[in-house]
Structure 1
Amino acid sequence: MKLLIAKFSTILSVMVLSGCKQEVKKPVENEAYASFGDSITLSGKWETRDMDNRFAQLEKGDTIPVKFTSRIIEVCPKKGCWMKVELTDGRQAMVRFKDYGFFVPTDASGEVVMEGKAYVEKMPVKDLKHYAEDAGKSEEEIAQITEPEITYAVEAHGVLIKQ
């Protein structure tokens, strides 16, 4: 009987002490960012210049997994279904969202972190005209698009936009 009371006392003590334990909330790493698509973190991201260097080493058909930070230049004003981000020396990358599974706000701006796959593509005239139309370019500007263009591109599965 004494053994049973001792075990019960021990269990009760553990329960009381664990009930008094104060839960400490960990700060949420991404709380200053709005998240779109898959949940991603800030850890392991490259800076813009690092991504620009990696793009420079890619050839058409190459694909690499990436997570990098940049600044938003432009967002599709119709739906937020694509965006253009800064690289270095005036270059930019076209960012689309995996399977059109999510969009970003049409007025998004500022710092962005994206994770997905990067590649270099030869964008057809038809697509260039489509994106120019989405961006609100004039008919004259769209008519001047007559050649395919080598483009740095990212298919993002997750995006964080700094608030």
Structure 2
Amino acid sequence: MKFKAILLGAVLTASSLAFAQSGPPEGKALVGDTYGDQVTSSAESKAITADKLNKQLKKDNKKVENVSVKGKVTDVCDKKGCWLTIQTEDNSKFFVKMKDYAFFVPTALKGKNVVLEGNAERKVTSVNEQKHYAEDAKKPQSEIDAITQPKEEIRFVANGIKVVN
């Protein structure tokens, strides 16, 4: 009986390792490619800029649900493709995570224009979390060490992402 339990544990461990994703998905992130839920043409045509999103967040008490935002991807998680950053009009960035960690994006998405569909809020990001994402992005140690204060920023949880050009 003990042998069967050990064997079952070994099989489950081996199968979970076989299906574990070791890096971001492959792909060229071509125009029309979608990651996560389908981004409708209606959502695409109603997409707002990051600047308008920021104004709406300030007006609507720090949270906006079911919003479409367009922008340029500036960074993608090199480890799994589990987060990205979008450039705003004033050259700052906002952070995007995938809803429920349910999908990932290829690093080829960097530099592409996308439409995001999901929920946005203004949130304070801790020093530890900022450093974690800086490490994921393979930032230089000097840049990581310079992170010493929590930061209020736009955080977006994407249901779907579509490459538009």
Superposition deviation, residue 148 in structure 1: 0.5
Count matched residues. 132
**Structure 2 counterpart SS, 1:107:** helix
The yes-or-no answer on 1:74 pairing with 2:75 is yes
The aligned counterpart of 2:5 is none
Match of 1:105 in 2: 106
Q: 1:38-97 CA deviation, whole Å, 9 max, x = no partner? A: 11213133231432432343545x343211211111111221111110222123210000
> Cα distance 1:69–1:151, how it changes in 2: closer, same or farther (>3 A)?
same
Pairing of 1:116-131 with structure 2 (within 5 A): 116-131=118-133
SS at match of 2:67: strand
Cα distance in structure 1, aligned partners of 2:60 and 2:37: 25
RMSD: 1.9
Identical columns (%): 35
Q: How does 1:113-152 map to 2 (within 5 A)?
A: 113-152=115-154
2:83–2:104: 8 Å Cα contact kept in structure 1? yes
**How far, CA to CA, are the matches of 2:113 and 2:143 in structure 1?**
28
User: Letter of the aligned partner of 1:94 in structure 2?
Assistant: F
In the TM superposition, residue 102 of structure 1 has moved relative to its aligned partner by 0.3
Q: Tell me which residue corresponds to 1:55.
A: 57
Write the deviation string for residues 118-140 of structure 1: whole angstroms up to 9, x where unpaired. Answer: 00000011100000000111222
* Alpha-carbon distance between aligned partners in 2 of 1:84 and 1:55, rounded to the nearest angstrom: 18
Q: TM-score, normalised by structure 1?
A: 0.73
Separation in 1, partners of 2:60, 2:149: 21
Structure exhibiting the larger radius of gyration computed from Cα positions = 1
Q: Distance in 2 between matches of 1:55 and 1:87?
A: 14
Runs of 4+ in 1 over 6 A off after TM superposition: none
What are the ranges of 5 or more consecutive residues in structure 1 without an aligned counterpart? Answer: 1-30
> What is the alpha-carbon distance in structure 1 between the residues aligned to residue 94 and residue 53 of structure 2?
10
With over 3 angstroms needed to count, the CA separation of the structure-2 counterparts of 1:63 and 1:162, relative to structure 1, is closer
Structure 2 match to 1:156: 158
Distance 1:125 1:115 in 2: 27
Where in structure 2 are there 5+ consecutive unaligned residues? 1-29
Distance in 2, matches of 1:94 and 1:58, equals: 19
Q: Given the two structures, how large is their TM-score scaled by the length of structure 2?
A: 0.72
2:108 counterpart SS class: coil
